[in-house]
Amino acid sequence: MVKIAKSQALQTVITTFEVNPGSCQDLLEALTEAYESFISKQPGFIAAGLHVNDAQTRIANYSQWQRREDFQAMLRSTEMRERNRRFGALSKSFEPVMYEVAADFG
């Protein structure tokens, strides 16, 4: 089980996707397939989760990586660039942002 902890020297990436309710499931399936077949197999990948709001207008993706460079290398790969074009076609917008844990609770 992955634990969110300030003491861990990990990189956290939170990506939010704005979608239409009609394309939410399609994007969720594309993201799931990307994690199962490609992203989770990349060096430095630790864990990820996908979250959908009740209205199916937003998908939030939380992922953790050993190092910033691991995430960046995955993003720059030819396969991921192609997948990101598909994600862009299925969403109004999406933005990955890298974070460090500032505080943890629980």
* The predicted structure's pLDDT at residue 83: 97
Mean pLDDT of 74-80: 97
Distance separating alpha carbons of residues 31 and 15, to the nearest angstrom: 11
Q: What pTM was computed for the model?
A: 0.91
* The predicted structure's pLDDT at residue 1: 59
Q: How much of the chain exceeds pLDDT 90, in percent?
A: 84
Give per-residue pLDDT as tens, 52-65: 999 999 999 999 99
The domain ranges of the chain are 18-91
Using the predicted structure, report yes or no on whether residue 3 has a pLDDT greater than 80.
Answer: no
CATH architecture for residues 18-91? 2-Layer Sandwich (3.30)
Q: Quick check: 2 and 70 in contact, CB under 8 A? A: no
Q: For residue 100, give the DSSP letter.
A: -
Neighbours of 90 (CB within 10 A): 21
Mean pLDDT of 71-88: 97
